[in-house]
Amino acid sequence: MSEPIVVARGLGKSYGQRTALTGISADIEAGDVVGVLGKNGAGKTTLLETLLGFSPPTEGSARVFGEDCLAMSAATKGRIGFVPQQDELLGMLSGRQQLAVTAAFHSGWDHALIDRLVNEWAVPLDRRLQTLSVGERQKLSVLTALGHHPELLVLDEPVASLDPIARRQFLAELFEMPETKARTVLFSSHIVSDLERAANKVWIIKDGRLHWQGEIDALKESVVRLHIRARAPLPSGFSIPDALAVRVDGTAATVAMSQWREERGEALARSLDAAIEVEPLGLEEIFVELNR
Amino acid sequence: MFILNPQSGIPIYRQLVAQVTRLIAGGQLAAGTELPSVRELAELHAVNPMTISKAYALLESEGLLERQRGKPMRVAARRRGQAPLSQRLQQLDRSITDLVLAARQLEVGKKELLARLGEKWGDDHE
């Protein structure tokens, strides 16, 4: 087995007394599309930047393509594409000039691909970048990270300002790679529906820690909301194991829980002498429940 | 062709498996019908191709779809009773769970429910 594309072990980052990130251990396998979800200030940007070695970790380590993130060779860096939350485009340049500057840094720049995307995404190339809208700049920023066919693409809130049609065009492009290479993607987004479409795995960051990681399908199958209706009033301190949030009202209760399995529902219904209805939850609801 | 809702609490691959299974059972997807390629379906619904592959692979393992070299997946010829009993029973699991839940909510006892099931079974098969 070859080493995963990204390996983090006990990774953390503190700024003086403030801990932004701690104890992150996770792998990203080739071909994974990992979506990072977290509240504002949870540590998503710090995580992406620390994993790539832009900002040295204060605990633990990260390896990318088998190399320490702080000592990556130029060849390894050339296999990565990064789109920061705040674009780093040069405002005095036109889009055309910016793309030419970026292309000059890469030997295998795919001009045909970028020409096609400029056209499909309607990116204006002749105006100075400082006069473009936020959405137009985001599109251009993504283009600067795609032209060299990066095997690992890391995007920090890449499409927050794009309309739904532009976001779909962007998502479709995430999966476009020459057939011989697999693309691995790590991206943070507040647009949960994009994450549900594109990601096969999800990392949920809470207070600087990796609160949940795994397959998005497994998460959806594991976290549910139970609607419990018992014959007798439920006790005031009523709860069940693995409950994330409990609301009791007389004989009825609503419980969000993890580690759900159908057998547990049957056992619970028997022990409480209650009827239980199971509500599957979308990622947005799951995220809210996990952050209570 | 399919209705896939990424925001649902039901994983996308399960939605696809359930729909293909139903369409085959209902005869709308006849044996030999070719399904859209993974890529086409992923593009159409703007979802990760891996999700579509996962559903197709599961349907193939259940004997509902078959792979053809260099061509799209197609609906397998129907071979009755081919899947092992445990697999066929598994397909009923969700319906059974729903039925038991409904019976409990309606306070219908196990005995009455089984009796009714027996009647239904007899109506259709004897």
Q: In whole angstroms, what is the distance from residue A217 CA to residue B102 CA?
A: 27
CA distances from A31 to A8, A98, A152 (A): 17, 29, 9
SS3 of residue A147 by DSSP: coil
Give yes or no for residue A182 having a pLDDT over 80: no
B8 CB neighbours in chain A (<8 A) are: 280, 282
- Strands (DSSP E) contained in chain A are 6-15, 18-28, 33-38, 59-64, 67-68, 80-83, 152-156, 184-188, 201-206, 209-215, 224-230, 243-249, 252-257, 274-280
Least CB–CB distance from B105: residue in A168, A198, A275: A275
Fold of A223-290: Alpha-Beta Plaits (3.30.70)
What pLDDT score does B60 carry? 94
pLDDT at A285: 94
Going from the C-alpha of A190 to that of each of A29, A287, B116, the distances in angstroms are: 23, 11, 50
Euclidean distance between CA atoms A137 and A131, whole angstroms: 9
Contact B11 A220 (CB under 8 A): yes
Judged by average pLDDT, the poorest of A98-107, B48-57, B98-107 is B98-107
Quick: pLDDT tens for A155-181: 999 888 888 888 888 888 888 766 666
User: For residues A3 and A63, is the Cβ–Cβ distance under 8 A?
Assistant: yes
* Res. B82 pLDDT band, cuts 50 70 90: low
Query: pLDDT confidence of B27, banded at 50, 70, 90?
Result: confident
Confidence of residue B104 (pLDDT cuts 50, 70, 90): confident
Cβ-Cβ pairs closer than 8 A, A with B, add up to 60
Partners of A67 in the β-ladder:
A64
Give counts: helices (H), strands (E), chain B: 5, 2
Is residue B35 a contact partner of residue B75, using CB atoms and an 8 Å limit? yes
Residue of A nearest to B43 (CA): A172
Q: Which residue of B has its CA nearest to A167?
A: B46
Tokens found for residue A208? 């600087």
Q: A residues 191-210 near B, CB within 8 Å?
A: 192-193, 196-200
Is residue A123 predicted with pLDDT exceeding 90? yes
- Higher pLDDT, residue B80 or A210: A210
Segments making up each domain of chain A, as ranges:
6-219, 223-290
B43 to A172: CB separation less than 8 angstroms, yes or no = yes
Q: Which residue among A175, A220, A262 sits closest to B42, beta carbon to beta carbon?
A: A175
Residue A180: its H or E element: none
Q: Which helix (H) or strand (E) holds B68?
A: strand B65-68
DSSP type of residue A101: H
Contact across the interface for A197 and B47, Cβ inside 8 Å: yes
Residue with the larger pLDDT of the pair B95 and A59: A59
Please give the average per-residue pLDDT across A121-132, as a whole number: 94
Greater confidence, B6 or A237? B6
Question: CA of A172 to nearest chain B CA: how many angstroms apart?
Answer: 6
Using a CB-CB distance cutoff of 8 angstroms, which residues of chain A are in contact with residue B103?
A: none
Percent of chain A with pLDDT over 90: 74
Contact state of B9 with A198 under an 8 Å Cβ cutoff:
no
Superfamily of A6-219 according to CATH: P-loop containing nucleotide triphosphate hydrolases (3.40.50.300)
B14 touches chain A (CB under 8 A): yes
CA distance A168 to chain B (A): 6
Instruction: Tell me, yes or no, if A224 comes closer than 8 A to chain B by beta carbon.
Output: yes
Portion 59-98 of A in contact with B at CB < 8 A: none
The answer to whether residue A175 neighbours chain B at the CB level (below 8 Å) is yes
| Cβ-Cβ contacts under 8 Å, B50 against chain A | 31, 33, 200
**Does B48 sit within 8 Å of A198, measured CB to CB?**
yes
Contact call for B48 and A282, based on CB within 8 A: no
Q: Which of residues 37-56 of B touch A (CB under 8 A)?
A: 42-43, 45-51, 54
Q: Comparing A86-90, A115-119, A180-184, which segment has the lowest mean pLDDT?
A: A180-184
- Best residue of A175, A201, A279 to probe chain B, by most B CBs closer than 10 Å: A175
Is residue A29 over pLDDT 90? Answer: yes
10 Å CB burial of residue A193 (0-12, 13-18, 19+) is middle
Judge contact between B59 and B65, C-beta under 8 A.
yes
Q: What is the average pLDDT across A133-152?
A: 94
B27 Cβ partners below 8 Å, 6+ apart?
none
Q: How far is A258 from chain B (nearest CA, A)?
A: 13
- What's the token pair of residue A18? 């403030």
Q: What is the pLDDT of residue B53?
A: 93
Task: Give the orientation angle of helix A95-104 with respect to helix A111-120, to 10 degrees.
Answer: 150
